[in-house]
Amino acid sequence: MVEFLTSQLGVSIILALVVIGVMLGSVAYCIFFERKIAGWVQDRFGPNRVGYRGILQSIADGGKLLLKEDVIPGHVDTPLFILAPAIIFLVAFVGFAAIPWGGQLQLGENLVDIQVAKPDIGLLYILGVASIGVYGVVLGGWSSNNKYSFYGGIRAAAQMLSYEIPLGLCILVVVLTMGTLRLESITLQQTEYWGGILPMWNVILHPLAFLVFLITALAESNRMPFDLPEAEQELVGGYHTEYSGLKFGMFLLAEYAHMITASGFIAVLFLGGWHFPWIAWTQPEATAWYAVIAKMLVLAGKITFFIFLMMWLRWTLPRLRFDQLLRLAWKGLIPITLGLFTLAVILVYVGRQQSLPWALLGNAVVLAIVLAAAGLSQVEVTGRQANLPSIRPGPVSTGTART
């Protein structure tokens, strides 16, 4: 038994259970923090009644959702209606399995990886699992047999499909630079230093790719300013209009789980995962239990930062219009990421993929080309096209009142 528990498989399975538990807990508390941050941004208290400063709010919410009626309206397509939240919930929690949590741990004689799964194709696994999520949203919208839900569903489909292309191209930039699809190898390669000081994080090497990836990750997890599929003011609740009780709760939890997965993915791809520079405990050589805990805390800190950033953006930015959203993807992000991909190919070809000056120079060139093209073509990426007639109303006729 002890042999099994200290082997790679045993550690992986224990870690899988721990990760699911931690995810469920932190997802519930993300909702609480979202409301607290909303209160902070809007200069009010936020939830502060249940427990000390509202700390038990999430538990109260869960209990309330559990005791609510599980309405299955008469007009819905019942099997798909039940399947939709199940799919989105499952997908949101499974994607996290490939994230490397804390390097390696010396356990007796074995050196085990603190990672649930270590497939050769970790990157493709996360991407593939994440794209199944669109089925949950679309099925939920379709089976509800409600016009708001339906529009939410097809909006979600168009949005998630459009943003998957720049997302994939951004990840390809990292793959070309690193030459591997394994998330743990990508983390390891980022633990080196330039000039002995500056960590070799991809965010420093490819800042443009990082920015585009951040935008597409927001869009893929349906967060503000890209939350068109559930836009409350336009579509009531979007694809979950007809859902109530814990089924609605599952959509909500899955959204936050998606945020955590996206943040973990960004942290691993661009910010060195569990690596924190200049501290001995968070280097790959440190394999003692306290070092593993330190690495986990570093990764958790990075994830928390991105979740905070997403919440902050939600309560700061206005929502895009749907045509602006699609135009940003197809006319803005896809050309930019094609340029970044070409840049990465050239850097690898000349053997300078890890050279900071070359990469930054290339990024500057791509940025200059993009800005010049945007300026010359007079196509506003998020506005109306220049050649369309103005919709500004003419002078208002005051006329004379009829007597």
Partner 1 sequence: MILATLEPYAAIGVTILVVMLITAAILVLAHVIGPKRHGPVKDSPYESGMPLVVDTQRRFNVRFYIVALLFLLFDVEIIFLWPWAQVFHHAATDGVTIPLENGGEVGKGFLLVGMAIFLALLVFGLLYEWKKGAFRWD
Using CB under 8 A as the binding rule, whether residue 60 contacts partner 1 is answered as: no
Interface pattern 250-289 for partner 1 (x via CB under 8 A): x---------------------------------------
Query: In the bound complex, what is the minimum distance in angstroms from residue 301's beta carbon to partner 1?
Result: 24
> 180 or 304, CB closer to partner 1?
180
**97, 224, 266, 292: which one binds partner 1 (CB under 8 A):** 97
Q: Which is nearer to partner 1, 72 or 293 (CB)?
A: 72
For partner 1, which residue of 22, 56, 175, 370 counts as binding (CB under 8 A)? 175
Position 183 contacts partner 1 (CB under 8 A) = no
9 belongs to the binding site for partner 1 (CB under 8 A)? yes
What is the distance between the alpha carbons of residues 113 and 106, in angstroms, rounded to a whole number? 9
State both tokens at 299.
């990764």
Among 86, 296, 356, 361, binds partner 1 (CB under 8 A): 86
DSSP 121-152: THHHHHHHHHHHHHHHHHHHHHHTT-HHHHHH
In the complex with partner 1, the residue whose CB is nearer, 170 or 311, is 170
> How many C-beta neighbours within 10 Å does residue 129 have?
19
Cβ distance to partner 1 smaller for residue 53 or 321: 321
Binding mask 193-222 for partner 1 (x = CB under 8 A): ------------------------------
What angle do the packed helices 245-270 and 57-67 form, to 10 degrees?
140
- The 10 Å Cβ neighbour count of residue 317 is 12
Q: How many residues does the chain have?
A: 403
Amino acid identity for residue 235 in this structure: L
The answer to whether the bond into 284 is cis (omega within 30° of 0) is no
Cβ count near 23 (within 10 Å): 18
Q: Rule CB under 8 A: say whether 56 interacts with partner 1.
A: no
Compute the distance between CA of residue 112 and CA of residue 2 in angstroms, rounded to an integer.
Answer: 14
With a CB cutoff of 8 Å and minimum separation 6, the contacts of 85 are 136, 140, 243, 247, 250, 251, 254
Distance CA 84, CA 398 (A): 54
Backbone dihedral region of 51: left (phi > 0), alpha (psi from -120 to 50 degrees) or beta?
left
In sequence order, what are the residues at sequence separation of 6 or more whose Cβ sits closer than 8 angstroms to the Cβ of residue 108?
A: 6
**Which of 132, 165, 293, 370 contacts partner 1 by CB under 8 A?**
165
**Residue 96 or 201 with smaller CB distance to partner 1:** 96
User: Could you say which of 186, 204, 205, 246 contacts partner 1 (CB under 8 A)?
Assistant: 246
Run of H or E residues at 112: strand 110-115
Q: Which 127-156 residues touch partner 1, going by CB under 8 A?
A: 142, 144-151, 154
Q: Is 334 in the site for partner 1 (CB under 8 A)?
A: yes
Classified as helix, coil or strand, 319 is coil
Determine the size of the site formed for partner 1 (CB under 8 A): 87
In this chain, which of 6, 12, 26, 48 binds partner 1, going by CB under 8 A?
Answer: 12
Shortest Å distance, C-beta 373 to partner 1 = 12
Distance, CA of 92 to CA of 261 (rounded, Å)? 8
The nearer residue to partner 1, 54 or 122, going by C-beta atoms, is 122
Which one of 206, 240, 247, 275 is in contact with partner 1 (CB under 8 A)?
247
Segment contacting partner 1 (CB under 8 A): 7-15, 42-50, 213-221, 283-291? 7-15
Q: Is 107 in the site for partner 1 (CB under 8 A)?
A: no
What lies within 8 Å, CB to CB, of 271 at 6+ separation is: 201, 202, 203, 302
Footprint on residues 15-34 left by partner 1 (CB under 8 A): 15-17, 19-20, 24
Indicate the residue among 19 and 38 with the shorter CB distance to partner 1: 19
C-beta of 99 vs 294, nearer to partner 1: 99
Applying the rule CB under 8 A, the residues between 340 and 369 that interact with partner 1 are 341-342, 345, 348-349, 351, 353
Of residues 292-331, those binding partner 1 (CB under 8 A): 322-323, 326-327, 330-331
Q: Bridge-partner residues for 112, per DSSP?
A: 105
394 binds partner 1 (CB under 8 A): no
CA–CA gap between residue 287 and residue 305 (Å, rounded):
25
Our CA angle for 174, 268, 348, nearest 5°, is 15
